[in-house]
Amino acid sequence: MTPIKPLFDKIMRYVGGLKFAVVIIALFVIAMIAGTFIESFYGSEYAGRLLYKSTPFFILQALLLVSILFATILRFPPKERLYGFYIIHIGLMVIFTGAVITYVTGIDGQITLAPNDPTRRIVLPEDVLIVNNETLHKEAEIQLPYSLLPTVLNIKWRDVEVLDYLPFSKNAMTWTEAAPKDQGAYTSSSYELSGQNMVQTVTFSRHPNSEATNHQELGLLSMEYLPEDLAACFSGLNQSDLFFWDMNTTNCFTLKDPNVEIKFSKAGQRMAFVKYTGQPFIFLPDKSPFPLDKELKPLRSSTLRAFSSSLFSKSTILFIFGKQVAFYSKETKKWEIKTFENIGDVVALPWMGFKLKLLNHSTTQYPTTTPVAARPEKKDGEIVAGEQKALKVKINDTITWVRAGQEERIKSNDNFYTIALAKKTIELPFELTLQEFKMDTNPGTKTPASYESYVNLFDGAGNSTHHIFMNNPLKYNRLTFYQSSYFQDDNGQYGSVLSVNFDPGRPIKYLGSFLLVIGCILHYLIGLRRKSA
């Protein structure tokens, strides 16, 4: 007799024993309670990745299964009074087995049917990175892990390196170093605007690669971010109420310039005739900052603009030049220029106690939005941020962030790449076409009473029409199609979304459920008979 046998028996008695089972079930219960709260806070995807589909939770379920198995084996050879017990526990194990088979081999996807558009493509829940070298006509699909935390993948395919994977991210503003040739050419600044009950950060950039804009509106206040040199032109406004400026060169000149001639129309309108870089321009400066074209309409493409004090002194508009700001003060009836000497300085604005604080100012760096790891954020029961998936990809020297649902086009070493973070898809061996989507509403309301899809199925041999609605799925080729959702396309026509399901574990789970119920009944009957006996 080897010493393994008694040890094995000991383990079996322990694992099959009640204390072990209670501990495992208790852990299982605690995990599930935590899971429901996590889901309520961060959404189902986060809960799935953190808990329900995580390895520790699978291990917990496996231990539960082992505990049930050993508890059953320990009570062999069969005793008549335990027949119910056996069947209940076997039923549970069968359900588990079915669930595992479903998990491993099953398909749970979606098919989106636009009206009258034959479709074969099923979208699966798995995330993949699709890299396409368009120049060489090579494509690769890289499976992404079902992870919760940011993961460094370090996967290499040809010139493409897949670096960081953020399953949950949101976009944040970060300051990036400009290319050497652009250093000092463009200004970028961010400010904190505070007023009654509100504090908001606003970021501007004139760098062409930055996502930050030159113009922002906050309620009634609008802000224009202009080149630094123009501040000098604004300071001249109190002497001469009109100046002209070139958007490209940021040159500015006033009425005193010999190339400017002022005339008045019959209606008393001020007209300015300007000769600039050898070209004539006509302005109605008190009407519009743009010159007039031949048809006397504003020429919005012109880089030469007029700035008339009277046009802007009435509106709540703040002109920002990096370290200086200009605004029209109704109290002093003058244009005022304020300067931030240092970062952190505050300038009081003339509107309702608003204040502007300089947070950052740079000519060598510019703000860009980059994905940063985050947790999903919920507001009013819906996730509003933090559920974006993002991947950092390096092709030769170019580093790009790819966000889910967006396609990035990159040129590197004379090769064109398209990179997309998408859901994995598979093709059906047959074709579905949505003929009609019908949504009935409850009379007199807009609440839906039913969703129905009329679908044509073409399998190469022939056509057949099917009617899919709630609680009435289409079964075909071992696949089941359920009415899941709907959408409206640009023309206002309804499209339908079906969920597609292939589940080889289904009969096994049903068998297990059946055994469980039979076992319960048997257990009860045996108990009853023993009591009467």
Partner 1 sequence: MKTFLLLFVILFVAPWANGATDVCKSDIGSLPVLAGGRIKPLYVHANEFLKFVTNKTKYEGMSADTVYCYLSLGIAPDNKEIKLTSPVGHVKLKKFLSLDSNETIIPTDTLAAQDTGLRQEYQSETQKTPSDESYKTELGNTLSRLDLYASVKSGDDWKVATWEGAELKWVSIKQFTQSIGGASLDLKLQEAKDQFISKQTDHYLLEMFYAKAHLFSWAMLTTLLAMLAFFLLKTTTWGNVLTFTSLGIELAGITLRSMISGRAPITNMYETVMFSGFGALLLATIVSIVKKEKIYMWGGLGYNFLCLFMMMFANNMLDSSIAPLVPVLRDNFWLSTHVCSIMLSYGALALSWILANIMLVRMRFFTIYSKDVTYYTKVIHTCLKYGVVLLAAGIILGGIWADYSWGRFWGWDPKETWSLITLCVYMVILHGRYTSWISPQRFILVTAGAFMSVMMAWFGVNYILASGLHSYGFSSGGALFLGLFFAAQITVMAVCSWGIDQKKAAS
Q: Which residues bind partner 1 (CB under 8 A)?
A: 18-19, 21-22, 25-26, 28-29, 32-33, 35-37, 39-41, 44, 47-48, 52, 99, 102, 108, 378-381, 441-445, 447-451, 469-471, 473, 480, 482, 484, 499-501, 503, 506, 509-510, 513, 516-517, 520, 524
Identify the bridge partners of residue 203 per DSSP, sorted by sequence position.
190
Cα(71)–Cα(81) distance, integer angstroms: 15
Among residues 172 and 449, whose Cβ is nearest to partner 1?
Answer: 449
Do residues 484 and 111 touch, judged by C-beta distance below 8 A? no
Cα(148)–Cα(54) distance, integer angstroms: 9
**Nearest to 123, CA basis, from 481, 498, 424:** 424
Q: How far is the CB of 400 from partner 1 (least distance, A)?
A: 31
Among residues 208 and 443, whose Cβ is nearest to partner 1?
Answer: 443
Identify the bridge partners of residue 226 per DSSP, sorted by sequence position.
none
Q: How far is the CB of 444 from partner 1 (least distance, A)?
A: 5
Q: How far is the CB of 370 from partner 1 (least distance, A)?
A: 23
266's CB contacts (< 8 A; 6+ apart) are none
517's CB contacts (< 8 A; 6+ apart) are 91
Among residues 83 and 157, whose Cβ is nearest to partner 1?
Answer: 83
Quick one: CA dihedral 24, 29, 34, 38, positive or negative?
Answer: positive
Q: How far is the CB of 21 from partner 1 (least distance, A)?
A: 7
Among residues 53 and 287, whose Cβ is nearest to partner 1?
Answer: 53
Among residues 269 and 450, whose Cβ is nearest to partner 1?
Answer: 450
Runs of H (alpha helix) within 243-301: none
The tokens 């200086």 sit on which residue? 324
Q: How far is the CB of 521 from partner 1 (least distance, A)?
A: 9
Q: How far is the CB of 147 from partner 1 (least distance, A)?
A: 18
Q: How far is the CB of 52 from partner 1 (least distance, A)?
A: 4
In Å, how far are 186, 211, 227, 340, 485 from 251, measured between CA atoms?
A: 15, 25, 10, 23, 57
Q: Is 343 buried (19+), middle (13-18) or exposed (0-12) by CB count in 10 A?
A: middle
Among residues 22 and 399, whose Cβ is nearest to partner 1?
Answer: 22
Q: Is 308 buried (19+), middle (13-18) or exposed (0-12) by CB count in 10 A?
A: buried
Element (H, E) at 63: helix 55-74
Do residues 160 and 399 touch, judged by C-beta distance below 8 A? no
Q: How far is the CB of 256 from partner 1 (least distance, A)?
A: 49
Among residues 331 and 382, whose Cβ is nearest to partner 1?
Answer: 382
Q: How far is the CB of 470 from partner 1 (least distance, A)?
A: 4
Among residues 198 and 262, whose Cβ is nearest to partner 1?
Answer: 198
In Å, how far are 13, 129, 316, 413 from 222, measured between CA atoms?
A: 76, 41, 7, 43
Q: Exposure string (b/e) for 115-145, b if CB count within 10 Å is 16 or more?
A: eeeebeebbeeebbbbbbbeeeeeeeebebe
Among residues 66 and 299, whose Cβ is nearest to partner 1?
Answer: 66
